[in-house]
Amino acid sequence: MKRLSIRSPFDMHLHLRDEDMLKLVAPLSSKTFSAAIIMPNLVPPVDTKEAVISYKNRIKDAIKDDDFEPMMTLFFKPYSKEFLESVKDDIKAIKLYPAGITTNSEGGVSSIDVNELAPTLNAMADLGLPLCVHGETNGFVMDREKEFLSVYETLAKAFPKLKIIMEHITTKDATKLLDRYDNLYATITVQHLLITLDDVAGGMLKPHLFCKPIAKRYEDREALVTLATSAHPKVMFGSDSAPHPKDAKENCGCAAGVFTSPIAIQVLAELFEKHNKLENLEKFISINATNIYNLKRTNKTINLIKKDFVVPQDYRFENEIVVPMYSNETLSWSIDSIIQG
């Protein structure tokens, strides 16, 4: 029976929410990942040193004894260099959201003016703090990422020493932009490697596949798959696993977000095997992140086996119910054992 081992898997874009939802979903990531970049879009957002430390402590409490490091981020706003120096050892990056573009982003940036952003971005560059960006405009939903690419170019040119992470890229155009600037990098999600808009809304609407950025066209998905399975050194896995309560997904105002944490590694193994690229999976899910973020790998190892795994219908804690991607469906890879670091 075929087996596969992944050492020190990283999730470089993860939503853990808070309170009972945090207690439900955090252990589902900490079980199988060594570390993750934690998104700061809580209510209120994580934008002070005290908030960073407090949130990290809540995550640590939720994951108990799992070998897992929450790598914290700040919600972008104008920060002084003095403040960033005081908090740089507690965070790994700062996350910029255009205002109102996704969940809990109302306090984001209303316009990306290089002159206004310069003091903070120059300080980040000096301190080696990467800028993570949700790269969408508020235009037509299928064009939002494409329209934002010129903003990435402006930032890359204006701040050449600043490491810029294009989060959850979804388009063929974004994959082409990656190599034009030395300081541009990207994360890619599970769902954008697997689905197109047809899967979300081509037949009966599937709310648990709806996310932002929305899934795009077939040619976009194929470009992403090529980039990920070839383990391009400037891309890394970031799940953007974004849990919402079941009743917030299954209603007429469906919340945006796909919950993939419990199945991400199994699904990626299936995808990389399909494309005869299993030898590149550890690069995509571990090694590239260590190089881009200057991380140390741990000895935590996830051992997989080629054996059917039925995805649970849902996950529950107290009154919280979350439905994963591929609920009740069968995957061809299972997690056989986990060796803590």
Catalytic, 240? Answer yes
Tell me the residue ranges of DSSP E strands in the chain: 3-7, 10-14, 35-38, 69-71, 73-75, 93-96, 131-133, 164-166, 184-188, 235-237, 301-305, 309-310, 315-317, 320-322, 330-331, 334-339
CA-based nearest residue to 5, from 313, 281, 289, 290: 281
Residue that has been written with the tokens 């953007």 in this structure? 240
CA-based nearest residue to 75, from 93, 54, 95, 90: 95
What pLDDT score was predicted for residue 295? 97
Q: Which two tokens stand for residue 20?
A: 């009972």
pLDDT digits (tens, 9 = 90+) for 70-96: 999 999 999 999 999 999 999 999 999
The CA distance from 299 to 339, in Å, is: 8
Tell me which of 240, 247, 308, 314 is the catalytic residue: 240
pLDDT digits (tens, 9 = 90+) for 211-231: 999 999 999 999 999 999 999
Least confident of 92-106, 169-183, 187-201, 269-283: 92-106
In DSSP terms, 95 is beta-bridged to: 75, 132
The gap between the terminal CA atoms of the chain, to the nearest Å, is 25
Residue 202 — very low, low, confident or very high, per pLDDT cuts 50/70/90?
A: very high
What pLDDT score was predicted for residue 81? 98
Percent of the chain with pLDDT over 90: 95
What CATH number is given to the structural domain containing 67? 3.20.20.140
Residue that has been written with the tokens 């596949």 in this structure? 209
- Across the chain, what does the average pLDDT equal? 97
Number of compact structural domains in the chain: 1
Please indicate whether residue 339 or residue 341 has the higher confidence score (pLDDT). Answer: 339
What pLDDT score was predicted for residue 109? 87
**Span 284-294, mean pLDDT?**
98
The CA distance from 62 to 116, in Å, is: 38
Q: Which domain holds residue 110?
A: 3-339
How many other CB atoms are found less than 10 A from the CB of residue 292?
Answer: 19
In DSSP terms, 335 is beta-bridged to: 304
Is the pLDDT confidence value at 108 over 80? yes
Return the SS3 of 59. helix
What pLDDT score was predicted for residue 106? 87
What pLDDT score was predicted for residue 251? 93
What pLDDT score was predicted for residue 100? 86
Is the pLDDT confidence value at 341 over 80? no
Q: Which long-range contacts (CB under 8 A, 24 or more apart) does 273-277 make?
A: 273/332, 273/333, 275/225, 275/229, 277/229, 277/230, 277/231
**Span 16-39, mean pLDDT?**
98
What pLDDT score was predicted for residue 36? 98
What pLDDT score was predicted for residue 302? 98
What pLDDT score was predicted for residue 29? 98
